[in-house]
Amino acid sequence: MSLTQEEVTPGLVIQLDTATLRALGGCQTNAVLGPEGDRSVVGTQDFLLVGLDAASGRCTAVPLFAKTAVGNQPLESGKKTGPADQWIGTDTYFSRWQHWRIPVASVVAASAGDPTAPANRRRYAASDRSALDDIKNWEGRNRAAYRDA
């Protein structure tokens, strides 16, 4: 179910349609764009919101994955809350080398396919802001500059 703008807060895990994000414009990523291609995620993807800049109306998010890969780091299972289906008790990884800056209105528009209900959203580190900051801080270590998604 689609989000409301009030629900777009750090720690939220939401399924976003990256084609919608790209079509709306205004999104940036620091995923590598090299001779071998664009490494930014495509299609429908779960994202963890790790930061919100109210002044610019943008949030920072990282894509989540069910399998590990080079550059991925696991989320701590004990910090997950929300519906159990494909979330609690499953391995989840984030890429240290791919952050997205997304307008809040675009997060709302691209969330229509999310399977969770407003009263039961998936969240990570809801009471541990430092865990989200640790993930967001990888953004500054990325050698790739932000670019339009």
What is the pLDDT at residue 122? 97
Q: How many helices (H) and strands (E) does the chain have?
A: 3, 12
Paired residues of 45 in beta bridges: 16
Low-confidence residues of the chain, pLDDT below 50?
none
- Ordered structural domains, the chain, with CATH: 5-148 (3.10.129)
Paired residues of 46 in beta bridges: 15
What is the pLDDT at residue 33? 85
In order, the DSSP letters of 16-51 are EEHHHHHHH---EE---EETTEE-S--SEEEEEEEE
What is the pLDDT at residue 116? 94
What is the pLDDT at residue 35? 83
What is the pLDDT at residue 2? 82
